[in-house]
A = this chain, B = another copy of it.
């Protein structure tokens, strides 16, 4: 993979600083290429035999493509073969024979490559099924979408975790999911991939593997047509299947009607899942609606929109008046999004209302449904602790939200939202309250292991840690933070009591 920084350096070699950097890089390139073609100094086999000189790998022999991966990710995998958290009779001795410098050099070499991808199947229905799982997940079985961690287009997040999937051989993706399933691989943060893999059916694995393997060369038209056919089937099944289960079931996306109203619903969903790009003028930080309302506002226990629509207008103590749903959504933009609320008669608002309303089809008006809001937590046994929270954060949160809380984005598209700093929710948002954050975290975090990884006490602790960090000012503050605290913060929070200050570059984009 050619990194943008290298492209720039190539173009500006005349620049002395670049020249110096380039000479160092060239040195490393030479070392990397030598190992790939000739092997390592301690007898590590030459990589070219299996992965090819361009890192294309070998689909038939199940050797992975390396050219789409980052150096940091490959270095981490070589370490995993050494420490046994990845098991491979072939790679274990090779990794063991590479020095740290050689590991770095060979990883950097492959990261620079750009091996072409060829289509391996034209089974449009298989690809369409894979795409649906990749983009929407299967939350009925607690499976988040693949792109919610592997980034838009499955291109990976660019660091040591969440590798690119686009272009990887289908067989290799399948074998790795099976390795997670069979405990032959365990080098994932907090066991996320192990947990999610365990929930995937064999059909799902085949479909999603085929999808990512073919993604760079997809016949978009054929897959879209197959997707539409599948959607029709799902829509029919949705009509025939009676609702069941613990929670209200919002309608399947496939049933959005193909008319003006449906277009507004679709626009609403786009705004909901990618507020930055579809309603950016109203957002003042790096958040999207979906960050607090997981699975596009469908997930029970994550403030699902289908449980909210039927409950407004309602009185809210927060602003001491009866709020319509428009007021409520405007509140999200003002506080959680730290922005300017979209006007009541704007298309953005109509679209969000239409999507929310559509999600609620068949729900009873005025009844508080199970799964509404975040599941309530009782008071913790021990006072929430910043220090304990800091450790939990480092272990279970930093891999996605970054050590400095700024979240992660790819190509300007937020993947993991910032939790503090200028890109985070402000001091007026519900999430700044320790209890609200603890409840959200316990039920939903880390994505795909909500409710099962963190204890209640851990959720309280990490919520305290996160919420003791600086974030944008409460927009209701008129200058005197003490007065604002007294007026609006009669609850457990760290407004006017946080530590540190907001760095100027706290938004990662």
A residues neighboring B (CB under 8 Å): 259-261, 264, 309-310, 312-315, 320-322, 324, 326-327, 343-345, 349-350, 353-354, 357-358, 360-367
Bound-complex Cα distance A357 to B350 (A): 18
Most B C-beta atoms less than 10 A away, residue of A260, A324, A345, A353: A324
Q: Given A361-B366, A365-B362, A354–B260 Cβ distance below 8 Å?
A: no
Bound-complex Cα distance A360 to B309 (A): 13
Count copies of this chain in the complex: 2
CB distance from A497 to the nearest CB of B (A): 31
Most B C-beta atoms less than 10 A away, residue of A310, A363, A365: A365
Q: Given A313-B261, A315-B259, A345-B344, A357–B361 Cβ distance below 8 Å?
A: no
Could you tell me if A260 and B321 are in contact, using CB atoms closer than 8 angstroms?
yes
CB distance from A248 to the nearest CB of B (A): 10
Could you tell me if B261 and A354 are in contact, using CB atoms closer than 8 angstroms?
no
Which residues of B sit under 8 angstroms from A345, Cβ to Cβ?
Answer: 326-327, 344
Q: Which of B259, B310, B322, B365 lies in contact with A354, CB distance below 8 A?
A: B322
Most B C-beta atoms less than 10 A away, residue of A260, A320, A360: A260
Bound-complex Cα distance A312 to B309 (A): 11
Bound-complex Cα distance A312 to B360 (A): 11
CB distance from A306 to the nearest CB of B (A): 9
CB distance from A321 to the nearest CB of B (A): 7
Could you tell me if B264 and A322 are in contact, using CB atoms closer than 8 angstroms?
yes
Q: Given A315-B261, A345-B327, A362–B354 Cβ distance below 8 Å?
A: no
Which residues of B sit under 8 angstroms from A364, Cβ to Cβ?
Answer: 362-365
Q: Pull 27 A–B residue pairs with CB atoms less than 8 Å apart, ordered by A.
A: A260-B315, A260-B321, A261-B313, A261-B314, A261-B322, A264-B322, A309-B365, A312-B357, A313-B350, A313-B357, A321-B350, A322-B354, A324-B349, A324-B353, A326-B344, A326-B345, A343-B344, A357-B365, A357-B366, A358-B366, A360-B365, A360-B366, A362-B364, A362-B366, A362-B367, A363-B364, A365-B365
Which residues of B sit under 8 angstroms from A367, Cβ to Cβ?
Answer: 361-362
Which residues of B sit under 8 angstroms from A363, Cβ to Cβ?
Answer: 364-365
Which residues of B sit under 8 angstroms from A315, Cβ to Cβ?
Answer: 259-261, 264
CB distance from A326 to the nearest CB of B (A): 6
Bound-complex Cα distance A327 to B314 (A): 20
Q: Which of B264, B324, B343 lies in contact with A350, CB distance below 8 A?
A: B324
Nearest B residue to A327, CB-CB: B345
Bound-complex Cα distance A312 to B264 (A): 12
Nearest B residue to A366, CB-CB: B361
Q: Given A360-B365, A362-B366, A364-B364, A313–B353 Cβ distance below 8 Å?
A: yes
Which residues of B sit under 8 angstroms from A366, Cβ to Cβ?
Answer: 357-358, 360-362
CB distance from A270 to the nearest CB of B (A): 15
Nearest B residue to A323, CB-CB: B350
CB distance from A309 to the nearest CB of B (A): 7
Nearest B residue to A263, CB-CB: B322
Could you tell me if A313 and B264 are in contact, using CB atoms closer than 8 angstroms?
yes
Most B C-beta atoms less than 10 A away, residue of A261, A322, A344, A360: A322
Which residues of B sit under 8 angstroms from A353, Cβ to Cβ?
Answer: 313, 324
Q: Which of B312, B314, B344, B365 lies in contact with A310, CB distance below 8 A?
A: B365
Bound-complex Cα distance A494 to B428 (A): 55
Bound-complex Cα distance A480 to B152 (A): 53
Most B C-beta atoms less than 10 A away, residue of A259, A310, A343, A361: A310
Bound-complex Cα distance A353 to B314 (A): 10
Bound-complex Cα distance A259 to B315 (A): 9
Could you tell me if B264 and A354 are in contact, using CB atoms closer than 8 angstroms?
no
Could you tell me if A350 and B322 are in contact, using CB atoms closer than 8 angstroms?
yes
Nearest B residue to A310, CB-CB: B365
Which residues of B sit under 8 angstroms from A344, Cβ to Cβ?
Answer: 326, 343-345
Could you tell me if A313 and B365 are in contact, using CB atoms closer than 8 angstroms?
no
CB distance from A61 to the nearest CB of B (A): 54
Bound-complex Cα distance A327 to B354 (A): 13
Extra 16 A-B pairs, beta carbons < 8 Å, given A261-B313, A309-B365, A312-B357: A260-B315, A260-B321, A261-B314, A261-B322, A313-B354, A324-B326, A324-B349, A326-B344, A326-B345, A327-B345, A343-B344, A344-B344, A358-B366, A360-B365, A361-B367, A364-B365
